[in-house]
Amino acid sequence: MRAGSAPGNGRRVIVTALVLGVVILVGGFLLGHLAGSRSRAGLGDRPEGGPKISRDRVAPLARLALPPLPPQPQPITGPDRPPLPVERGGPFGSRLTTGTPEVALTFDDGPDEVWTPQVLALLRDYGVQATFCMIGSKAAKYPQLVRDVVADGHTLCNHSWSHDVWLGLRDEETVLADLRRTNEALTRAAPSARISYYRQPGGNWSPVVVAAARRLGMTALHWRIDPHDWQLGPSHRIAADVTSQATPGAIVLLHDGGGDRGRTLSALRTILANLITRFHLAPLPPGMEEPRPSGTGWFGRPGQ
């Protein structure tokens, strides 16, 4: 009797194994489909009015970003009314920090037809906005890049017309003419943008250039962290300098123009992946015009 039952037992074992295999395959498919659906629902395409997040590479990291801070009101800006006050410790009162817990990434010497689009794409993937300090002659040459920067919600900053590192040593009228010319190039490219910051090339500040910037309604913008990405150091050193020195409110100096920025771009991937888990990253506030009372014209007179 026992010997005769062996073939039957063997068949039952085979059938049982086949059933278990089917169950495992179907269960794995359903779990994978459910996980994929949740991932797509959580990451999605571009939320209305927000930056697009790449699903294939960066979006899982972006999900680790800190929840946003409550929105802050935009400062009122205009002539002799820059968005941020002078900062003690900064060269001639220029800003080293944002004045908030937010860290500000800033990019100098663009726009550049090769590197600026790549920096924008990487920032867009991570859902991060920054501040771009642009050279006036380059803005005049590449107005579409200026518009692309503004369209992604970044803040514009004046970086002089031709990257004159000695501009601060010139007389006030020369400085004012240079800054005005640069502002005009930026606003000609992007009429809706407000230019509320000025960064002196080379960080060569002087009382004259700080005063001229203030007169035009711009905060003098220095930095807390400079990884010297314009030099020939490796990308891992650039990234390490930024991530190890970052503290709440730090302004970080990087470059999207002025030379080969491949090392900066490579470092930026590491910088963004690291900082979004530790700090809130935000552009400097561009400011806004003072609201006019309803029914009045530009000079307070009754409207037509």
* CA gap 224, 202 in Å, rounded: 14
> Is 80 among the residues known to form the active site?
no
* CA gap 256, 156 in Å, rounded: 13
* CA gap 204, 1 in Å, rounded: 100
Catalytic member of 108, 152, 164, 178: 108
Q: Cβ distance 98 to 224 under 8 Å?
A: no
* CA gap 122, 52 in Å, rounded: 11
CA 266, 52, 55, 103 torsion-angle sign: positive
Query: The tokens of 180 are what?
Result: 């005005």
* Residue 5 buriedness (CB in 10 A; 0-12 / 13-18 / 19+): exposed
Largest CA distance in the chain: 113
> Is 159 among the residues known to form the active site?
no
Number of Cβ within a 10 Å radius of residue 236: 12
Q: What is the DSSP string of 70-102?
A: PPPPPPB-BTTB-SS---TTSGGG-BSB-SSS-
Catalytic member of 159, 222, 255, 280: 255
Catalytic positions, written as ranges: 108, 255
